[in-house]
Structure 1
Amino acid sequence: MKIIIAPDSYKGTASAAKASEAIAAGWASIRPHDDVVLLPMADGGEGTLEAFARAHPEAHQHDVTVEGPNDVPTQARWLMLPDGTAVVEVASTSGITLLDRLRPLTAHTYGLGQAIAHALDNGARRILVALGGSSSTDGGAGALTALGARFGTDTGEELSRGGGALADLAALDLAGLRPPPPGGVLVLTDVTNPLLGLAGAAHVFGPQKGANAADIQRLEDGLNKLASLLPAHTSAPGSGAAGGTAFGLAAWGATITAGAPAVGHEIGLPGQVTDADIVITGEGRYDGQSPAGKVPSYVQDVARSAGARCFLIAGAIEEPLTTFAAYASLSAIAGSSQAAMREPLKFLTFAGAQLALNAEPSVLEESLQPQA
């Protein structure tokens, strides 16, 4: 049989690439003669660059030094695909993991703009921007500044960087803003939140970035000022992604799109699944948000359209499963979430082997627990 293995990353424990390799090893231990294809997935968050690199081994990685979200120079990377498409990640340029401590008001996306500018300088004809893992709530103002926009105060001074400074925004000059590449800019996000309001960037994601109640109000006020000056729709689904960076890039001309389908299309998942018998997907936690556009739900839809069965391996399962043909919980296999997180690849391998026992349609096993 042809088996496609297309998980997301198991955040904080195993990358999508390592996870797919471990699952494949477990599968091969039971069914060594199956045709197994590894297509590690992402949704615009952690592992997006790695997913593209694996799907396009001929792609070229570019290293660039950018100004990190805490004003410290950091080494970032972006990928040039063979067709001239550049893939840039917020995580590696302006990501939250680059901070020594959370900076809810002063973290910024200037480094992201520098990486985009570097891609343009190197001839990128199209740009994909993965927005997961951001550190700031600056509405993309930092990135636009690096691309030539000028933000000012009512006294004519240059606006400081960071979402907290947006409350003092009074003037905007886009005359020097670099044009997008001829093939356009696609923003990949795994959320549908708007820019403003209780469901927006500051209220929903600000606390994750260290914002208290007063910070959230200041960030919201700043985003409102930014929205009054930038030509983009604040209510567009996903405009609040990455602290409103999606909104800022949309004002530059970018298109906001759901990350998982876009990544799947770019790495050729639908074409590979056409003649597949089984598709295995997964993520760290399968919960109430998973069916709403996360990697497993997208992969399952692709598998269903092709008539393939879809199996799930999740670190923890917190949502009833009725549509997957078989599934495995790493926490259940390991005995606890802590044990699963200590040795994720070991238990991913075990889960792959257990699922292989369900490969034949006639095998109906509800329990995937290891035998004593």
Structure 2
Amino acid sequence: MLVVCAPDSFKGSLSAVEAARAMADGVRDADPQAACREVPMADGGEGFVDVIDAALDARRLTVAVHDHSGSPASADLALAGDTAYLDIASAAGLTLVAPEDRDIMTATSRGVGELVLAALDAGARRLVVGLGGSGTNDAGAGMLDALGVHFLDEGGALVSPSPAALASIVAVDASRIDPRLSDVEVVLASDVTNPLVGPDGASHVFGPQKGASSEQVRTLDRALAHLARCCERAMGADHAAEPGAGAAGGLGYAFLQFLTARMRPGVEVVADALRLREQIRGADLVLTGEGSVDAQTLGGKTPIGVARIAHDEGVPVVIIAGNVGDDADVLLDHGVTAIVPTPRGAAPLEELIARSGRDLRSATASVIRIFESRRRGAAS
């Protein structure tokens, strides 16, 4: 039997690489003769570069950047040929700064710009950017500042573009943006389709997750709308309403507006890079999953992306998750054969996290035993 293990990370407990290994161990516990293909997955969020690095013959680079609080930090990128894979969470991720030190009004995406420059310095001609897990809400102004875009106030002085300062910008000068970017293809990997501003925009939907109060959400939304008007005057076009412009606190907008990027579902980008369809073709079973699944998984999360490919190839797919929402059964109408939770018995959260790898391995072994029993029954 050939089983493909293609999970995303179980956030807070297992990386995608660790989850795929735990699944493969569970398969072999149930059937020592089974063959396993471990294909750790991601949908553009945290762990994007780790997944690419694990699957491709990539060169890993660690570069010095500033996190979204302005403190020195390091971030990774993966180089495969002339393509650089970037994970914005490694340079401006919410988890990089302790909760008590976070300030959404001063947090900037400058570190993402520094990561882009490092990719250019390494010879990249194509950037594949995982948009997810950001701690910023500055419409990518910090990134653009690092790339050479100038933001000017009424007196013509340069503005350091933190969210709190965006309202003071009256002009945008993109003439000094790094010229190498004109010859670079940029692909954005994200499952977010929100516009930049408005009730469905970056500030209203994602700002509270980053610590923004109700008043700050309104202030941020006005500031981002003001910045977009200034950028439209400078560039002669406006991408603020495009699906995905609100991704990563508006970093999607900056890439679309200034770097002529194109947006693709993150799981599709990763699946293409890892040649997932070829890995699944001819398999007997596909296992996928992540920390939690529910009806929102249909919005482009890894498990449904894997399930759609497996369904196209006529291979049954089982989702194994740490938490299964009450509405998760809707996934069964979209190519998923079964959904299995991992926890065994009630326990405090800390204990569940600590034993998550063991529970995933055990749940996988149970799935394989049931699957093989049904196959034997069908054969007889």
Q: In the TM superposition, what are the counterparts of 1:264-343 in structure 2 within 5 Å?
A: 264-318=271-325, 319-321=327-329, 322-323=332-333, 324-331=336-343, 333-336=344-347, 338=349, 339-343=351-355
Partner of 2:78 in structure 1?
A: 79
1:26 positional shift? 0.9
% identical equivalent positions: 35
Report the AA paired with residue 30 of structure 1: A
State TM-score, norm by structure 1. Answer: 0.93
Q: Find out whether 1:98 has 2:110 as its counterpart.
A: no
Query: 1:354 aligned to 2:366?
Result: yes
Going from structure 1 to structure 2, the CA distance change for 1:361 and 1:306 (only over 3 Å counts) comes to: farther
* Paired letter, 2:215: A
* Aligned ranges 1:220-259 → 2 under 5 Å: 220-230=221-231, 231-251=237-257, 252-259=259-266
1:191 and 2:192 equivalent?
yes
Aligned-residue offset at 1:359: 2.5
- Larger helix share, 1 or 2: 2
Note closer, same or farther for the CA distance 1:8–1:334 as it changes in structure 2 (3 Å cut). farther
Structure 1 residue 342: Cα displacement: 2.7
* Structure 2 equivalent of residue 115 of structure 1: 115
**C-alpha offsets along residues 313-335 of structure 1, whole Å, 9 cap, x if unaligned?**
0111012423432332023x243
How many matched pairs?
362
Equivalent position of 2:234 in the other structure: none
Measured in 2, the distance between the counterparts of 1:181 and 1:39 equals 34
Contact 1:96 1:134 in 2 (8 A): yes
**Alignment gaps of 5+ in structure 2:** 232-236
Asked if structure 2 preserves the Cα contact closer than 8 Å seen for 1:88 and 1:128, the reply is yes
CA shift, 1:108, in A, is 0.7
| Equivalent residue, structure 2, for 1:63 | 62
Measured against aligned partners, the alpha-carbon deviations of 1:165-184 in whole angstroms (never above 9, x if no partner) come to 21222110000112426350
CA–CA distance in 2 between the matches of 1:288 and 1:44? Answer: 19
Contact 2:145 2:161 in 1 (8 A): no
Name which of structure 1's ranges 154-163 and 8-17 shifts more when overlaid on structure 2: 154-163
Does 1:173 pair with 2:173? Answer: yes
Q: Contact 2:138–2:249 (CA<8 Å) still a contact in 1? A: yes
Q: Determine if the alignment matches structure 1 residue 218 to structure 2 residue 230.
A: no
The question of whether the paired residues in 1 share the 8 Å contact of 2:293 and 2:328 is answered with no
The equivalent residue for 1:139 is 139
Structure 1 pair 232–32 and aligned structure 2 pair: CA distance change class (3 A): farther
CA distance 1:224–1:255, shift in 2 (3 Å): same
| Structure 1 SS opposite 2:298 | coil
Give the aligned residue type for 1:345.
G
Mapped pair 1:157 → 2:168: no
Superposed, which structure 2 residues align to 1:7-18 within 5 Å? 7-18=7-18
AA in 1 matched with 2:252: A
SS in 2 for 1:359: helix
Change (3 A) 1:199 1:186: same
d(CA) in 1 for partners of 2:184, 2:324? 40
Query: In 1, distance between residues paired with 2:243 and 2:113?
Result: 22
Unaligned runs of 5+ in 1: 366-372
Q: TM-score, normalised by structure 2?
A: 0.91
CA contact (8 A) 2:285 2:317 kept: yes
Q: Secondary structure of the residue that 2:127 maps to in structure 1? A: strand
Does structure 2 retain, via aligned residues, the 8 Å contact 1:63–1:78?
yes
Amino acid corresponding to residue 241 of structure 2 in structure 1? S
Contact 2:69 2:102 in 1 (8 A): no
Give the CA deviation at 1:358: 2.6
Q: Does the aligned pair in 2 maintain the 1:44–1:189 contact within 8 Å?
A: yes
Q: What CA distance in whole angstroms lies between the structure 1 residues aligned with 2:182 and 2:304? A: 32
Give the corresponding residue for 1:369. Answer: none
Distance 2:281 2:348 in 1: 35
Q: What amino acid is aligned across from residue 94 of structure 1 in structure 2?
A: A
- Whole-angstrom CA distance in 1 between matches of 2:26 and 2:373: 19
Deviation at 1:336, TM superposition (A): 4.6
Instruction: Look up the SS of the partner of 1:108 in the other structure.
Output: coil
Separation in 1 of the partners of 2:37 and 2:64?
A: 35
Letter in 2 for 1:327: I
